[in-house]
Homo-oligomer: A and B are copies of this chain.
């Protein structure tokens, strides 16, 4: 049920997905559904907590544990590949839910906010490690760079979904990487220490 729900939320959003849709897609019945979830809100919460946990432990479709600039490129590229796999008809599973949020959806918003905080933390760790190794400018703010990465890829994925075309996403990823690389530095002692 969680998998079917996650897929439907990704495909058509939260609002358009009813418990009935989830039961139909997963071949389950009301008894089972309400045994596991008190309500649709409970289901949404479980789905998002599942995503957060997968991101935390490195079991998500995207590898958030970036360890190199090539890994950062792959992080960006994987977003594009996953979206292309749906012929650009779907956006990011998290961004899709994020833009649907209305004032009353405070629990969902908190889950999503936490999810993006976990992602930000992982990306920021990469930039912090680069800084510590002297490979990133001391003026760079790892949290800000991580926020920029997330916003760039989210905006690019949204445009790809609207256009059914990945060109603007590719452009945005290239631009983001160029910007991020302006903070790269050659470590002073790199050659002697190796």
Interface string of A162-179 (1 = CB under 8 A from B): 111001110110110011
Chain A residues touching B, majority SS:
helix
Q: Which of A147-170 contact B (CB under 8 A)?
A: 147-148, 150-156, 158-159, 161-164, 167-169
Establish whether residues A13 and B15, one from each chain, have CB atoms under 8 Å apart when the complex forms.
yes
- Assuming the contacts A96-B99, A159-B151, A162-B112, asked whether A144 and B15 have C-beta atoms less than 8 A apart, the reply is no
Establish whether residues B13 and A100, one from each chain, have CB atoms under 8 Å apart when the complex forms.
yes
Q: Chain B's nearest CB lies how many Å from the CB of A146? A: 9
Selected from B145, B150, B156, the residue in CB contact (under 8 A) with A159 is: B150
Selected from B99, B103, B116, B148, the residue in CB contact (under 8 A) with A95 is: B99
Inter-chain CA distance A101–B179, complex, in Å, is 30
Smallest CB gap from A102: residue in B: B12
Max chain B C-beta neighbours (<10 A), residue from A144, A158, A171, A172: A158
Chain B residues positioned under 8 Å from A159 (CB to CB): 98, 116, 147, 150-151, 154
Q: A-B pairs with the 10 shortest C-beta distances?
A: A155-B155, A99-B99, A151-B155, A154-B155, A179-B179, A151-B172, A147-B168, A15-B15, A12-B102, A148-B175
A-B contacts, 20 of them at CB < 8 A, read A11-B102, A11-B103, A12-B102, A13-B15, A89-B103, A91-B101, A98-B158, A98-B159, A101-B161, A109-B162, A144-B171, A144-B174, A148-B171, A148-B175, A150-B155, A154-B154, A154-B158, A155-B158, A175-B179, A182-B182
A residues near B (Cβ < 8 Å) are 11-13, 15-16, 89, 91, 95-96, 98-103, 109, 112-113, 116, 144-145, 147-148, 150-156, 158-159, 161-164, 167-169, 171-172, 174-175, 178-179, 182
